[in-house]
């Protein structure tokens, strides 16, 4: 399995999916066709857990702002992580600027929705 | 066209920008979002509040973009009457307003959500947003069906109305306000 790296655009984040066990997304997210845009990432994450997962997987999400379909997509990503959390150790960091209370609140919402996952709020 | 009259209107109403014609592309939306980023940065708007303004603007403009695209596919006519306006009051609060023409079928889909939203308090909106996001209901809609709840969650006030044009067409207005200082 190969790494997948997707460069940032003005409305989508930089995405780095590394078989060493690191999944990261940094930037803004409001694509026109959110589910099509993120399909390669979702497929990669599924295949990674099915075939190549490392003992510990670290997920770093740092999204400054996003539209509602991206919110739904991130929910689907957390859902996928939850499906795999019993067989794998998954560490999730929701990273936000300390002044960005709306990103912090979005992270808190995900923590409430996914009690089985270990999601840490990281302010910087 | 008298450009001085337009300038007066823009200045009197604190308009930051407006887009008329109902044709919006992703590139145009991105450009306007960048203009909003500059505007909020220049005025030292806090990051959390600024991001709420961007999200509301993006939701409303992507709604309009998707709506006019769907209409074009069906009847090959660009949906007219589309308007999006971002303005600021003298206190520095922001208003993001939009208008577009919708069919009676769309009104019947949109209106129950908006009726629900105006009846809910802040916690209720948040709860409903999370329920809908979890259930994945209405995911055939591009925004996952949570777009109006996303808007309501991020503003201090949302108002809407439907103005009848004829038996099956309505002007749909939505007006949102984001306050710069949160009330305690």
Nearest CA in chain A to B127: A109
Whichever domain contains A69, its CATH number is 3.30.750.24
Give the mean pLDDT of chain B. Answer: 85
Indicate the pairing of strand B15-20 with strand A56-66: unpaired
List chain B residues with CB under 8 Å of A10.
30, 34
Q: What is the pLDDT of residue A100?
A: 94
Between chains, do B48 and A72 touch, taking CB under 8 Å as contact? no
pLDDT for B72 equals: 53
Query: Torsions phi, psi of B146, nearest 5?
Result: -110, 5
Q: Is pLDDT of B76 > 60?
A: no
Q: Which two tokens stand for residue A117?
A: 């996952």
What confidence tens digit (pLDDT) does each residue in A73-82 have? Answer: 999 999 999 9
Task: Using CB atoms, pick whichever of A31, A99, A109 lies closest to residue B130.
Answer: A109
Angle at CA B67, nearest 5°, toward B124 and A29?
60
pLDDT, mean of residues A2-25: 97
Whether the predicted pLDDT of B181 surpasses 80 = no
Give every CB contact of residue B130 below 8 A, 6+ residues apart in sequence.
A109, A112, A113
Structural domain count of chain A: 1
The angle subtended at Cα B77 by Cα B73 and Cα B78, nearest 5°, is 95
What is the count of residue pairs from A and B with beta carbons less than 8 Å apart? 75
A100-104 long-range contacts, CB within 8 A, separation 24+: A100/A64, A100/B47, A100/B48, A100/B51, A101/B46, A101/B47, A101/B48, A102/A65, A102/B48, A102/B49, A102/B51, A102/B52, A102/B55, A102/B154, A103/A63, A103/A64, A103/A65, A103/B48, A103/B51, A104/B48
pLDDT score of B77 more than 60 = no
Percent of chain B's residues with pLDDT above 90:
55
Most B CBs within 10 A among A68, A72, A116, hence the mutation to make, goes to: A68
Contact A67 B146 (CB under 8 A): no
The answer to whether B81 contacts chain A (CB < 8 Å) is no
Please report the pLDDT score of residue A42 as a whole number: 97
> Is the confidence at residue B158, as pLDDT, over 70?
yes
What would the pLDDT profile of A42-70 be if each residue is shown by its tens digit? 999 999 999 999 999 999 999 999 999 99
| pLDDT at position A116 over 50 | yes
User: Mutate which of A27, A37, A67 to test chain B, going by most B C-beta atoms within 10 A?
Assistant: A67
Indicate the pLDDT class of residue B75, thresholds 50, 70 and 90: low
The number of helix segments (H) and strand segments (E) in chain B equals: 6, 5
pLDDT value at residue B2: 82
B43 token code pair: 């005025």
Is B116 or B69 the better-scoring residue by pLDDT?
A: B116
Q: What does the pLDDT average to over B48-68?
A: 91
Distance from CA of A13 to the nearest CA of B (A): 14
Of B34, B47, B139, which to mutate for an interface test with A (greatest number of A Cβ within 10 Å)? B47
pLDDT band at B66 (very low <50, low <70, confident <90, very high): confident
pTM, two decimals, is: 0.91
Given this model, what pLDDT does residue B70 score? 64
Domains of chain B: 3-101+157-178 (3.30.565.10)
Q: Is B64 on the interface with A (CB under 8 A)?
A: no
- The two beta strands, A22-29 and A14-18, are antiparallel
Question: What does the pLDDT read at residue A1?
Answer: 92
| Domain extent for A61 | 4-123
**How many residues are listed for chain B in this entry?**
184
CA distance A28 to A14: 9
Per the CB < 8 A criterion, the answer to whether B71 and B77 are in contact is yes
The answer to whether A99 contacts B126, with C-beta atoms less than 8 Å apart, is no
Assign B118 to helix, strand or coil: helix
Q: Is the pLDDT assigned to residue A106 strictly greater than 90? A: yes
């Amino acid at each position: 399995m190969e790494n997948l790296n997707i460069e940032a655009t003005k409305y989508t984040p930089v995405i780095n999916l590394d078989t060493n066990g690191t999944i990261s997304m940094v930037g803004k997210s409001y694509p026109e066709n959110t589910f099509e845009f993120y399909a390669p990432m979702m497929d990669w994450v599924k295949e990674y857990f099915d075939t190549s997962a490392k003992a510990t997987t670290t997920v770093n999400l740092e999204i400054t702002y996003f539209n509602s379909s991206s919110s739904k997509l991130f929910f689907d990503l957390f859902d996928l992580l939850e499906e795999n959390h019993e067989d794998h150790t998954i560490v999730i960091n929701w990273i936000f600027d300390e002044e960005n209370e709306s990103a912090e609140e979005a992270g808190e919402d995900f923590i409430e929705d996914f009690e089985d996952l270990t999601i840490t709020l990281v302010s910087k | 066209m008298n450009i001085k009259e337009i300038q007066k209107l823009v200045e009197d109403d604190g308009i930051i920008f407006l887009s008329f014609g109902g044709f919006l592309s992703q590139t145009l939306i991105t450009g306007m979002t960048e203009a909003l980023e500059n505007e909020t940065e220049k005025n030292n708007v806090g990051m959390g509040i600024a991001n709420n303004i961007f999200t509301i603007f993006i939701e409303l403009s992507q709604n309009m973009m998707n709506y006019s695209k769907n209409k074009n596919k069906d009847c090959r006519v660009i949906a007219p009457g589309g308007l999006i306006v971002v303005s600021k009051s003298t206190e520095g609060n922001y208003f993001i307003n939009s208008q577009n023409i919708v069919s009676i079928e769309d009104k019947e889909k949109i209106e129950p959500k908006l009726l629900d939203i105006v009846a809910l308090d802040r916690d209720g909106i948040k709860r409903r947003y999370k329920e809908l996001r979890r259930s994945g209901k209405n995911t055939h809609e591009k925004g996952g069906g949570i777009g109006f709840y996303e808007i309501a969650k991020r503003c201090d006030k949302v108002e809407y109305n439907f103005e009848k044009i004829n038996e099956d067409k309505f002007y749909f207005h939505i007006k949102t306000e984001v306050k710069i200082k949160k009330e305690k």
